A and B are shown apart, each in its own frame.
Chain A
Amino acid sequence: MKVTIDGIPVEVEAGTTILNAARIIGGDIVPPAMCYYSKLEGSGGKCRTCLVKVSKGSEKDPRPMPKLVASCRTTVMDGMEVQNITSPEVIEARKGIVEMLLINHPLDCPICDQAGECDLQNLGFEHGAEKTRYEFDRRTFEKIDIGDKIQLHMTRCILCYRCVFTADQITDHREHGILNRGDHSEISTYIQKVIDNDFSGNVIDVCPVGALTDKTFRFKNRVWFTKPVEAHRDCDHPGCNGKVTLWYKGEDVLRVTARKDVYGEVEEFICNTCRFDKKKTSDWVIEGPRKVANWSVISANKYDTLKPLPVVKTNPVLVEANKEQFERETRL
């Protein structure tokens, strides 16, 4: 089937979604996805960041679709024409959705372990407005403890349902789910239970924000100070092949995660033993540095351009200081 996205034609199989067709093309025209996860069946359609405009339905029925559609859940038709970044309507809607996602987000990035590999951070950086128009108290939740391995920060959650699908499809039973409705809905276990089974740690990897983080890595370091290294071990757990990314700081393995691709999706899920218990270099066979990093704001050096701010430009003292800082940064 032939589909054209932002003027770029691509041949895909029947049943492919618009988002996956765009990922085949790659580059800037791939819509951002916060809730869709290609490895989890039934995910997607909820966050609405991947909205696109279908300007031509198909060869047979060339009418455009009346509303913007979620590209992650809309399958392509032969001859379909899709507009993503070429449609001002889509850009505007996406900006609105990023704003909506952020109005109740605590924006506690400075103390959040996810910062640096956070999908919401990247999304906000690329599509969001600089300032919010929201002037009210942000939503808060009562803290619940879901065990000694996983930390839940409900205030940061964007309710993508990925962790629910993970628990349903990767682990053997699900302990947590969505309670309540509307903007009080929360990820929780009913009558405080511990989320604990062999694959439960994967909810940390699929979480696009810092709502579910690794307690064994909690406040140990910033993500961008650690070096990702590919490694593997013979895991005796059936269903886990022991291929991971180790995050080193100096000699120490601070954190173990599954290997993530450019879209932040894990390649293969790993078991809790690999993730939480094997934190010595001797446990692992090192393969080499991790090449594919998440396309994050920080790893792409977007914060490091050090362009002088307008206020700096007019002040000679600050201009000098900025120059010095720039030299120091680039020397490192």
Chain B
Amino acid sequence: MARKLLLEHINVPGINTFDVYRQKGGYAAVEKALKTLTPEEIVEEVKKSGLRGRGGAGFPTGMKWSFLAKPEGVARYLVCNADESEPGTFKDRYLMTYIPHLLIEGMIVSSFALGAHASYIYVRGEMMPQIRILEKAIAEAKAKGFLGKNILGTGYDLELYVQPGGGAYICGEETALLESLEGKRGNPRIKPPFPAIAGLYGCPTVVNNVESIAAVVPIINEGGEEYAKVGVGRSTGTKLISAGGNVKKPGVYEIDLGLPVEEFLYSDEYCGGIANGKRLKAVVAGGSSVPILPANLFLKTINGDARLMSYESLADGGFVSGTMMGSGGFIAFDEDQCIVRNTWNFTRFYHHESCGQCSPCREGTGWMEKVLHRLEYGHGKMSDMDLLVDVSKKIEGNTICPLGDAAAWPVASAIRHFRDEFEWHVTNGAEAVKRNYGLAHYADPLPKPEAV
């Protein structure tokens, strides 16, 4: 069993309180960082660790920190993006509910590294219990002198605030989050300028995911090089995966990056296989916005290698036969699930959550939703699949923020891999309402590539 870095003490009773967390070695990273390291050294450690952003894009966190502009006399901010609302992802909520002090410890260390004296945790509005938990944890930490003025006598001041959002998916996009945090309408900003130059209130800002910030704690405790030993290649460390869908044991699992997907899906330590003895049909590997893959392409890459849970291996094959790590929202579909219905459901979500600022996303998501609805209820046409691909192409890459891409990819990939099922919905319209297409050939072994 692999070592857990984030969730090591998750099952200790009372770990959500300051005292138990402290007993289990908590806040050691704060002491180490504030007393023995300089901010530059912390950034260097994070760079060495190879930690990549856990929110979805996978941008190296150390690089992001080193891009932060540091003009004299201008405040800098660290903002924690806890607006987790991707369908299929629930790791941040889990972490904040059960071990809130880990996030707060990470926030203190990261804020110190960036020279921020006021930091914000922007929590999705629907997560009211987590907001209360965090506020209580912050109050505890403050009472013990880990927050506020002159932390641990080192002369470093930090105020930590929790800001509830209004419950919009788009506010998980970093610039929309900053707009919302400033009290404005959560529309993504046009970049450049990037938040590292002009972010919150026009000041240099770093926006990081909850898990990225929490991962700073083991990096400081053990050193960046030690952290980098876990994982494979450029995917270092551990990752929280929210396993959901038709698996036997859904939940949040901490895995070493580089774990074979087959082991993750079928071993009893993790998902435990597909529920009710059914067979796997398709997998969405990293939250609703990444391309969906049929079972055969998911377990093996196009070259026949076993696929691993790592940024590179999941992306192997690009958009043709690969997917993405995303935010780690792992959704498994068994043979009784309808891909058309699922695609419609995802698109309905993006239609609902589009901010309406730029035209391709505002109009295109609604259009795709209507076409998919028609297909799902058996009124589709054969030309609809090409129409959907065309519309998704016209959204992808033409919008201000990545929501347009996120809306386009699931549709394009579903049609790429499951076209037979879409066509069956057209040719057997009446039947499609009553029953599902089934597994078909989606789990068959891949054909051997012909030698040329």
Q: What residues of chain A have their CB less than 8 Å away from a CB belonging to chain B?
A: 44-49, 51, 67-68, 70, 73, 92-93, 96-97, 99-101, 103-104, 133-134, 136, 139, 158-159, 161, 177-178, 180-185
Contacts and interface: CB of A to CB of B under 8 A. Distances in A.
Contact of A46 (B358, B366, B367): B358
Interface stretch (B2-10, B22-30, B347-355): B347-355
A96 B394 contact: yes
Contacts of A183: 351, 354, 356, 362-363, 365-366
A104 B364 CA distance: 10
A47 B358 contact: yes
Given A48-B398, A48-B399, A100 B364 contact: yes
B363 A100 contact: yes
Contacts of A47: 358-359
B382 interface: no
Given A45-B358, A93-B394, A182 B365 contact: yes
Given A70-B190, A93-B394, A100 B400 contact: no
A102 to B, nearest CB: 9
B393 to A, nearest CB: 8
21 contacts: A45-B190, A46-B359, A48-B398, A67-B397, A68-B398, A96-B393, A97-B359, A97-B398, A101-B359, A103-B363, A139-B366, A159-B359, A159-B362, A177-B185, A180-B356, A182-B351, A182-B353, A182-B354, A182-B365, A183-B351, A185-B356
B125 to A, nearest CB: 14
A184 B353 CA distance: 11
Contact of B367 (A93, A103, A159): A103
Contact of B355 (A70, A139, A182): A182
A101 to B, nearest CB: 5
A73 B367 CA distance: 27
B399 A181 contact: no
A103 B360 CA distance: 11
A158 B359 contact: yes
A31 to B, nearest CB: 13
* Shortest Cβ-Cβ A-B pairs, 6 listed: A96-B394, A185-B356, A100-B363, A45-B190, A182-B354, A67-B397
A133 B398 contact: no
A260 to B, nearest CB: 23
A97 B400 CA distance: 13
B354 A181 contact: yes
B359 A134 contact: no
A305 to B, nearest CB: 30
Interface string B348-386: 000111111111101111110010000000000000000
Given A45-B400, A133-B387, A182 B358 contact: no
A44 to B, nearest CB: 8
Contacts of B351: 182-183
Contacts of B360: 48, 96-97, 100
Nearest to A98: B359
A101 B356 CA distance: 12
B241 to A, nearest CB: 29
B210 interface: no
A139 B357 CA distance: 16
A177 B356 CA distance: 13
Contact of B370 (A51, A136, A180): A136
A47 B364 CA distance: 13
Nearest to B363: A100
Nearest to B190: A45
Interface residues of B, number: 30
A212 to B, nearest CB: 18
A161 B278 CA distance: 51
A258 to B, nearest CB: 26
A185 B352 CA distance: 11
B131 interface: no
Nearest to B396: A67
Contacts of A73: 190
Contact of B185 (A159, A178, A184): A178
Interface in B385-434: 387, 390-391, 393-394, 397-400
Given A96-B360, A97-B398, A161-B357, 6 more contacts: A49-B359, A73-B190, A96-B391, A139-B366, A181-B170, A183-B356
B326 to A, nearest CB: 19
A157 to B, nearest CB: 11
Contacts of A101: 359, 363
Among B352, B355, B366, B397, chain A packs the most CB atoms within 10 A around the CB of B366
A46 B356 CA distance: 9
B168 interface: yes
A178 B184 CA distance: 11
Interface in B311-365: 351-360, 362-365
A108 to B, nearest CB: 18
Contacts of A158: 359
Nearest to A44: B190
A51 B367 CA distance: 21
Nearest to B394: A96
A118 to B, nearest CB: 16
B370 to A, nearest CB: 5
B363 A185 contact: no
Nearest to A159: B356
Contacts of B357: 46, 159, 161
B394 A100 contact: yes
Nearest to A51: B398
Contacts of A100: 359-360, 362-364, 367, 394
A103 B369 CA distance: 14
Contacts of B370: 136
A182 B394 CA distance: 17
B398 A96 contact: yes
Contacts of B354: 181-183
A147 B200 CA distance: 37
Contacts of B387: 133
A180 B170 CA distance: 13
Nearest to A101: B359
Interface in B203-255: none
B390 to A, nearest CB: 8
A183 B444 CA distance: 41
Nearest to A42: B190
A184 to B, nearest CB: 8
A182 B398 contact: no
A228 to B, nearest CB: 30
A59 to B, nearest CB: 19
Nearest to B356: A185
A181 to B, nearest CB: 5
Given A46-B400, A96-B394, A181 B356 contact: yes
A162 B324 CA distance: 38
Interface in B257-314: none
